[in-house]
Amino acid sequence: MTQFMANWKNELFKLRKRKKYFVFLILGCAICVASALRLVIANLITGGAMSPETMLGGLTTANLPFLLLLFLPLMAIMAACDLFVTEQADHTIRFSLMRPVGKGKLFFSKATAVFTLCAIDLAVLYLVTALTQVILGGGTRGLGSGLLACLLDLIPLAVLILFFCLVNQLIKSAGLTVLLCVVLYVGFLALGTYLPAFGGLLFTGYLRWHNLWIGVTLPFLSMLSRIGLLAGYGLVFACGGYLLFDRKEA
Protein backbone atom coordinates (compact mmCIF):
# COMPACT_ATOMS: atom_id res chain seq x y z
CA MET A 1 0.00 0.00 0.00
CA THR A 2 2.92 2.35 0.72
CA GLN A 3 4.25 1.84 -2.81
CA PHE A 4 0.79 2.38 -4.27
CA MET A 5 0.27 5.64 -2.35
CA ALA A 6 3.71 6.92 -3.29
CA ASN A 7 3.13 6.21 -6.97
CA TRP A 8 -0.39 7.70 -6.80
CA LYS A 9 1.06 10.95 -5.43
CA ASN A 10 3.67 10.93 -8.19
CA GLU A 11 1.06 10.45 -10.93
CA LEU A 12 -1.16 13.15 -9.43
CA PHE A 13 1.85 15.48 -9.32
CA LYS A 14 2.37 14.92 -13.06
CA LEU A 15 -1.20 16.01 -13.75
CA ARG A 16 -0.94 19.03 -11.48
CA LYS A 17 2.16 20.21 -13.36
CA ARG A 18 0.20 20.41 -16.60
CA LYS A 19 -1.32 23.90 -16.72
CA LYS A 20 -4.08 22.93 -19.15
CA TYR A 21 -6.05 21.27 -16.35
CA PHE A 22 -5.94 24.46 -14.31
CA VAL A 23 -7.05 26.47 -17.35
CA PHE A 24 -9.96 24.11 -18.03
CA LEU A 25 -10.96 24.26 -14.36
CA ILE A 26 -11.10 28.06 -14.56
CA LEU A 27 -13.24 27.81 -17.71
CA GLY A 28 -15.56 25.37 -15.93
CA CYS A 29 -15.93 27.75 -13.00
CA ALA A 30 -16.67 30.60 -15.40
CA ILE A 31 -19.38 28.57 -17.11
CA CYS A 32 -20.99 27.70 -13.76
CA VAL A 33 -21.03 31.37 -12.74
CA ALA A 34 -22.32 32.39 -16.18
CA SER A 35 -25.23 29.96 -15.85
CA ALA A 36 -26.32 31.77 -12.68
CA LEU A 37 -25.80 35.23 -14.16
CA ARG A 38 -27.87 34.23 -17.18
CA LEU A 39 -30.82 33.49 -14.92
CA VAL A 40 -30.37 36.78 -13.05
CA ILE A 41 -30.19 38.82 -16.26
CA ALA A 42 -33.23 37.05 -17.71
CA ASN A 43 -35.12 37.76 -14.50
CA LEU A 44 -34.18 41.45 -14.63
CA ILE A 45 -35.30 41.73 -18.25
CA THR A 46 -38.70 40.30 -17.33
CA GLY A 47 -39.05 42.80 -14.52
CA GLY A 48 -38.06 40.55 -11.63
CA ALA A 49 -40.93 38.13 -11.99
CA MET A 50 -39.27 35.56 -9.72
CA SER A 51 -37.51 35.88 -6.39
CA PRO A 52 -33.79 35.01 -6.25
CA GLU A 53 -34.55 32.07 -3.94
CA THR A 54 -36.96 30.58 -6.45
CA MET A 55 -34.77 31.27 -9.44
CA LEU A 56 -31.38 30.17 -8.08
CA GLY A 57 -32.44 27.53 -5.57
CA GLY A 58 -30.97 24.17 -6.54
CA LEU A 59 -28.36 25.70 -8.85
CA THR A 60 -25.78 23.12 -7.79
CA THR A 61 -28.00 20.26 -8.95
CA ALA A 62 -28.98 22.10 -12.13
CA ASN A 63 -25.32 22.37 -13.20
CA LEU A 64 -24.63 18.64 -12.72
CA PRO A 65 -25.59 17.57 -16.28
CA PHE A 66 -22.92 19.90 -17.70
CA LEU A 67 -20.33 18.68 -15.19
CA LEU A 68 -21.08 14.97 -15.42
CA LEU A 69 -21.78 14.60 -19.12
CA LEU A 70 -19.28 17.04 -20.62
CA PHE A 71 -16.69 18.64 -18.36
CA LEU A 72 -15.51 15.74 -16.18
CA PRO A 73 -15.46 13.14 -18.99
CA LEU A 74 -13.30 15.52 -21.03
CA MET A 75 -10.92 15.92 -18.08
CA ALA A 76 -10.81 12.15 -17.61
CA ILE A 77 -10.05 11.51 -21.29
CA MET A 78 -7.15 13.99 -21.36
CA ALA A 79 -5.71 12.86 -18.02
CA ALA A 80 -5.86 9.15 -18.89
CA CYS A 81 -4.20 9.85 -22.24
CA ASP A 82 -1.42 11.87 -20.57
CA LEU A 83 -0.64 9.15 -18.04
CA PHE A 84 -0.86 6.16 -20.37
CA VAL A 85 -0.47 6.68 -24.12
CA THR A 86 1.66 9.83 -23.97
CA GLU A 87 4.11 8.30 -21.49
CA GLN A 88 4.28 5.10 -23.51
CA ALA A 89 4.85 7.02 -26.74
CA ASP A 90 7.79 9.04 -25.39
CA HIS A 91 9.00 6.09 -23.23
CA THR A 92 8.94 8.14 -20.01
CA ILE A 93 6.88 5.35 -18.45
CA ARG A 94 10.15 3.45 -18.10
CA PHE A 95 11.10 5.73 -15.22
CA SER A 96 7.95 4.62 -13.38
CA LEU A 97 8.70 0.96 -14.10
CA MET A 98 12.19 1.36 -12.66
CA ARG A 99 10.68 2.05 -9.24
CA PRO A 100 9.92 -0.87 -6.91
CA VAL A 101 6.28 -1.01 -7.97
CA GLY A 102 4.51 -3.70 -9.99
CA LYS A 103 2.56 -3.05 -13.14
CA GLY A 104 -0.70 -3.71 -11.34
CA LYS A 105 -0.05 -1.00 -8.76
CA LEU A 106 1.23 1.31 -11.49
CA PHE A 107 -1.92 0.89 -13.59
CA PHE A 108 -4.35 1.40 -10.73
CA SER A 109 -2.36 4.28 -9.25
CA LYS A 110 -2.62 6.06 -12.60
CA ALA A 111 -6.37 5.38 -12.76
CA THR A 112 -6.75 6.60 -9.17
CA ALA A 113 -4.83 9.77 -10.00
CA VAL A 114 -7.24 10.49 -12.87
CA PHE A 115 -10.19 9.88 -10.54
CA THR A 116 -8.67 12.15 -7.89
CA LEU A 117 -8.20 14.96 -10.41
CA CYS A 118 -11.85 14.69 -11.49
CA ALA A 119 -13.05 14.53 -7.87
CA ILE A 120 -11.08 17.67 -7.00
CA ASP A 121 -12.49 19.47 -10.04
CA LEU A 122 -16.02 18.43 -9.07
CA ALA A 123 -15.48 19.69 -5.51
CA VAL A 124 -14.14 23.04 -6.71
CA LEU A 125 -16.98 23.50 -9.19
CA TYR A 126 -19.54 22.62 -6.51
CA LEU A 127 -18.07 25.20 -4.13
CA VAL A 128 -17.99 27.88 -6.84
CA THR A 129 -21.60 27.17 -7.79
CA ALA A 130 -22.72 27.13 -4.14
CA LEU A 131 -20.99 30.44 -3.40
CA THR A 132 -22.48 31.97 -6.54
CA GLN A 133 -25.94 30.86 -5.49
CA VAL A 134 -25.57 32.34 -1.98
CA ILE A 135 -23.95 35.61 -3.13
CA LEU A 136 -26.64 36.28 -5.74
CA GLY A 137 -29.38 35.82 -3.16
CA GLY A 138 -30.42 32.28 -3.91
CA GLY A 139 -29.99 31.18 -0.31
CA THR A 140 -28.87 27.72 0.71
CA ARG A 141 -31.79 25.73 -0.68
CA GLY A 142 -30.62 22.61 -2.48
CA LEU A 143 -26.98 22.80 -1.34
CA GLY A 144 -27.27 19.67 0.79
CA SER A 145 -28.94 17.59 -1.92
CA GLY A 146 -26.44 18.95 -4.45
CA LEU A 147 -23.52 17.81 -2.28
CA LEU A 148 -25.07 14.37 -1.84
CA ALA A 149 -25.63 14.14 -5.61
CA CYS A 150 -21.97 14.95 -6.28
CA LEU A 151 -20.82 12.24 -3.86
CA LEU A 152 -23.14 9.65 -5.41
CA ASP A 153 -22.08 10.54 -8.95
CA LEU A 154 -18.44 9.78 -8.15
CA ILE A 155 -19.31 6.07 -8.37
CA PRO A 156 -20.25 5.93 -12.09
CA LEU A 157 -17.49 8.45 -12.79
CA ALA A 158 -14.95 5.92 -11.48
CA VAL A 159 -16.35 3.29 -13.86
CA LEU A 160 -16.12 5.73 -16.78
CA ILE A 161 -12.49 6.47 -15.93
CA LEU A 162 -11.67 2.75 -15.90
CA PHE A 163 -13.26 2.53 -19.36
CA PHE A 164 -11.04 5.33 -20.65
CA CYS A 165 -7.99 3.65 -19.09
CA LEU A 166 -8.94 0.45 -20.95
CA VAL A 167 -9.26 2.28 -24.28
CA ASN A 168 -5.83 3.83 -23.71
CA GLN A 169 -4.29 0.36 -23.93
CA LEU A 170 -5.63 -0.27 -27.45
CA ILE A 171 -3.86 2.42 -29.50
CA LYS A 172 -0.34 3.86 -29.35
CA SER A 173 -1.18 7.28 -30.80
CA ALA A 174 -2.32 9.94 -28.33
CA GLY A 175 -4.46 11.77 -30.88
CA LEU A 176 -6.23 8.63 -32.05
CA THR A 177 -6.78 7.52 -28.47
CA VAL A 178 -8.48 10.79 -27.53
CA LEU A 179 -10.60 10.60 -30.68
CA LEU A 180 -11.60 7.00 -29.99
CA CYS A 181 -12.53 7.80 -26.38
CA VAL A 182 -14.68 10.74 -27.50
CA VAL A 183 -16.37 8.79 -30.29
CA LEU A 184 -17.14 5.81 -28.06
CA TYR A 185 -18.38 8.00 -25.22
CA VAL A 186 -20.63 10.12 -27.45
CA GLY A 187 -21.81 6.98 -29.22
CA PHE A 188 -22.84 5.32 -25.96
CA LEU A 189 -24.62 8.48 -24.83
CA ALA A 190 -26.49 8.76 -28.12
CA LEU A 191 -27.40 5.07 -28.05
CA GLY A 192 -28.81 5.40 -24.56
CA THR A 193 -30.71 8.57 -25.51
CA TYR A 194 -32.31 7.46 -28.77
CA LEU A 195 -32.75 3.81 -27.83
CA PRO A 196 -33.99 3.95 -24.22
CA ALA A 197 -34.22 0.16 -24.08
CA PHE A 198 -30.41 0.04 -24.16
CA GLY A 199 -29.94 3.03 -21.86
CA GLY A 200 -30.44 0.95 -18.72
CA LEU A 201 -27.84 -1.57 -19.88
CA LEU A 202 -25.05 0.91 -20.69
CA PHE A 203 -22.77 2.26 -17.97
CA THR A 204 -23.02 5.76 -19.45
CA GLY A 205 -26.72 5.70 -18.61
CA TYR A 206 -25.82 5.90 -14.92
CA LEU A 207 -23.56 8.96 -14.99
CA ARG A 208 -26.32 10.90 -13.22
CA TRP A 209 -26.44 8.22 -10.55
CA HIS A 210 -28.08 10.56 -8.05
CA ASN A 211 -31.35 10.45 -10.01
CA LEU A 212 -31.83 6.88 -8.80
CA TRP A 213 -31.34 7.78 -5.14
CA ILE A 214 -32.61 11.32 -4.60
CA GLY A 215 -36.32 12.03 -4.95
CA VAL A 216 -37.19 8.67 -6.53
CA THR A 217 -38.17 5.55 -4.62
CA LEU A 218 -37.39 2.32 -6.49
CA PRO A 219 -37.80 -1.29 -5.31
CA PHE A 220 -34.73 -2.66 -3.55
CA LEU A 221 -34.25 -5.49 -6.06
CA SER A 222 -34.32 -2.98 -8.91
CA MET A 223 -31.63 -0.88 -7.22
CA LEU A 224 -29.60 -4.01 -6.44
CA SER A 225 -29.56 -5.07 -10.09
CA ARG A 226 -28.34 -1.62 -11.14
CA ILE A 227 -25.61 -1.64 -8.53
CA GLY A 228 -24.51 -5.08 -9.71
CA LEU A 229 -24.51 -3.99 -13.36
CA LEU A 230 -22.35 -0.95 -12.64
CA ALA A 231 -19.99 -3.02 -10.45
CA GLY A 232 -19.72 -5.59 -13.25
CA TYR A 233 -18.74 -2.93 -15.78
CA GLY A 234 -16.12 -1.58 -13.39
CA LEU A 235 -14.66 -5.05 -12.79
CA VAL A 236 -14.48 -5.84 -16.52
CA PHE A 237 -12.86 -2.50 -17.39
CA ALA A 238 -10.37 -2.74 -14.51
CA CYS A 239 -9.31 -6.31 -15.30
CA GLY A 240 -9.22 -5.76 -19.06
CA GLY A 241 -7.23 -2.54 -18.75
CA TYR A 242 -4.71 -4.10 -16.39
CA LEU A 243 -4.19 -7.22 -18.54
CA LEU A 244 -3.56 -5.13 -21.65
CA PHE A 245 -1.26 -2.77 -19.73
CA ASP A 246 0.69 -5.70 -18.30
CA ARG A 247 1.35 -7.12 -21.79
CA LYS A 248 2.52 -3.82 -23.24
CA GLU A 249 6.20 -3.13 -23.64
CA ALA A 250 7.50 0.17 -22.25
User: Do the beta carbons of residue 245 and residue 169 sit within 8 Å?
Assistant: yes
Residues of 178-207 as b/e, b for ≥16 C-beta within 10 angstroms?
Answer: bebbeeebeebbebbeeeeeebeebbbbbb
Residue 38 burial (CB < 10 Å; 0-12/13-18/19+)? exposed
Q: Pseudo-torsion of CA 149, 165, 13, 153, nearest 10°? A: 0
> What tens digit of pLDDT does each residue of 14-59 get?
998 899 999 999 999 999 888 888 877 876 776 666 666 666 667 7
> What mean pLDDT is predicted for residues 230-237?
93
User: Do the beta carbons of residue 187 and residue 140 sit within 8 Å?
Assistant: no
Rg over alpha carbons for the chain, rounded to the nearest Å, is: 20
User: Do the beta carbons of residue 3 and residue 104 sit within 8 Å?
Assistant: no
> What tens digit of pLDDT does each residue of 111-168 get?
999 999 999 999 999 999 999 888 887 777 878 888 888 888 899 999 999 999 999 9
